[in-house]
């Protein structure tokens, strides 16, 4: 048990999927895991452990933003021995060829700042995914014939962004989508020698202003979860 995770020793798997929304963790666990057990509800941040094709898996909410994810990822790695952490979440599309419900596999994650920024001082560290996970996820998505994009994303530390000039430059430089957690996850994975990947579903688009209705968001995320699970155990 830690400050933020109430699971007992042995209740967290080495493979952890991390949606931001705790209720998305509940939905994914109940839909995709066999015999899911609630192992954490501290501060309402739900976590479940079950099995997928005989493999032990935990699905733990991480909250919104990099500071929140950093807390959960650190405790999962340090106190529970997590070895593979895969973010599953929504993102905003930033390129014209990207549509709603498409998958984005984040090869790199650019950012203005993360909770780890002070550690690097003047260095602009380049956070990236684990290659084995990335390749396995790409193969799994291709096998499912799901429209998928692989490349760089932007991890923002604010939700209500008022930097149209920054969005313009990111689009110009090929950034595929924007979300709020992956860069710090990739940095922590590099620091502690574990594997990390972000598998994202496009729920809205910054250029076209299209967006999935709230009622369709959960039902559109099944491919993302299955790709993440298949990549974890490839």
Give the per-residue pLDDT at 205. 95
**204 is known as an active-site residue:** yes
CB 6 within 8 A of CB 22: no
Give the range with max mean pLDDT: 49-53, 142-146, 162-166: 49-53
Q: Quote the pTM value.
A: 0.96
Residues of the binding site: 4, 20, 24, 43, 87-90, 179-181, 203-204
Report the Cα 169 to chain-centroid distance in Å.
24
Instruction: Given the residues 34, 102, 204, 223, select the one marked as catalytic.
Output: 204
**What are 73-108's pLDDT values in tens digits?**
999 999 999 999 999 999 999 999 999 999 999 999
Q: Please give the Cα distance from 127 to 134 (Å, whole number).
A: 14
- What are the residue ranges spanned by the domains of the chain? 15-232
Residues of the binding site for a purine D-ribonucleoside: 4, 179-181, 203-204
- In percent, the amount of the chain with pLDDT more than 70 equals 100
Beta bridge partners of 202: 91
CB 190 within 8 A of CB 212: no
Average pLDDT over all residues of the chain: 95
The third-level CATH classification (topology) of the domain covering 15-232 is Rossmann fold (3.40.50)
How many Å is the Cα radius of gyration of the chain?
16
Closest CA to 80 of 24, 132, 133, 3: 3
Which three-class secondary structure string do you get for 161-202? CCCHHHHHHHHHCCCCEEECCHHHHHHHHHHHCCEEEEEEEE
Closest CA to 161 of 65, 72, 89, 90: 65
**What are 196-221's pLDDT values in tens digits?**
999 999 999 999 999 998 777 776 79
Q: Please give the Cα distance from 114 to 45 (Å, whole number).
A: 21
- Give every CB contact of residue 207 below 8 A, 6+ residues apart in sequence: 93, 94, 96, 171
- Number of other residues whose CB lies within 10 A of the CB of residue 67: 14
CB 30 within 8 A of CB 197: no
């Amino acid at each position: 048990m830690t400050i933020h995770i109430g699971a007992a020793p042995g209740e967290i798997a080495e493979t952890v999927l991390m949606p931001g929304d705790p209720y998305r963790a509940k939905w994914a666990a109940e839909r995709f895991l066999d015999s899911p057990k609630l192992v954490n509800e501290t501060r309402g941040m739900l976590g479940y452990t079950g099995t997928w094709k005989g493999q032990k898996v935990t699905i733990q909410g991480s909250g919104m933003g990099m500071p929140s994810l950093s807390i959960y990822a650190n405790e999962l790695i340090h106190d529970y021995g997590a070895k593979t952490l895969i973010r599953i979440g929504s993102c905003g599309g930033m390129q014209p060829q990207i549509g709603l419900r498409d998958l984005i596999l984040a090869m790199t994650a650019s950012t203005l700042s993360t909770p780890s920024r002070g550690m690097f001082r003047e260095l602009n560290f380049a956070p990236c995914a684990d290659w084995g996970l990335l390749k396995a996820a790409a193969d799994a998505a291709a096998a499912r014939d799901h429209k998928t994009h692989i490349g760089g994303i932007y991890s923002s530390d604010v939700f209500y962004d008022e930097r149209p000039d920054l969005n313009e430059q990111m689009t110009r430089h090929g950034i595929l989508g924007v979300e709020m957690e992956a860069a710090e996850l990739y940095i922590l994975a590099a620091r502690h020698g574990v594997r990390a990947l972000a598998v994202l579903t496009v729920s809205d688009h910054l250029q076209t202003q299209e967006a999935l209705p709230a009622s369709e968001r959960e039902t559109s995320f099944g491919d993302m979860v299955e790709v993440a699970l298949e990549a974890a155990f490839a």
